[in-house]
Amino acid sequence: MSIIYDALNKAEKENNNIHNKQSPKPNRRFIITGIAVLIIILILSVIFLNNKKVHVSQIKSRRETVRRHVKFVEKKYSPGSLVLEGIIYDKGVPTAVINGKVLAEGGKISGFRVDKISKDSVQLFDSQDDRKITLSFQ
């Protein structure tokens, strides 16, 4: 039994020696190479970024675009082309739909002013010709 005991003690000592050994130190050459690579990358990135700067003399001028303002011109309707499409009659604020445009009393369409809105008709007044037009459902 002493042979087994001696073998176990020997194995335990070898095992302890393996764990007690310090891990090998990194090679100095490896560390110096890593630092050198990082410095080279840093220098190259600085050079690259400095070359990307645009100087005022390098900028080509372009002709400035000119914005043209266009006035909105309301579509002119002749008296025969005005179509009453609907009336929303409310004693407070009656409204009429003429050629797709919702108008209250006093509203204007194609030079005509909405004078009066009743349940079944709308009176328009043309201030240029001093005439009244009545639109009703057909």
The answer on pLDDT for 15 being more than 70 is: yes
Locate tokens 């003690």: which residue? 9
- Which pLDDT belongs to residue 14? 80
The predicted structure's pLDDT at residue 133? 87
- Compute the average pLDDT of residues 122-127: 88
Q: Is the pLDDT of residue 23 over 80?
A: no
Contact predicate 121/133, CB 8 Å:
no
Tell me the H-state helices in the chain: 2-20, 28-51
Domains of the chain by start residue, with CATH: 84-136 (2.30.30)
Reported as a single tens digit per residue, the pLDDT across 32-42 is: 999 999 999 99
User: Between 123 and 67, whose confidence is greater?
Assistant: 123
Q: What is the pLDDT of residues 76-122, one digit of tens each?
A: 656 567 888 999 988 889 999 988 899 999 998 888 899 999 889 99
Q: What does the mean pLDDT of the chain come to?
A: 80
pLDDT over 70, % of the chain: 74
Contact 122, 87 (CB under 8 A): yes
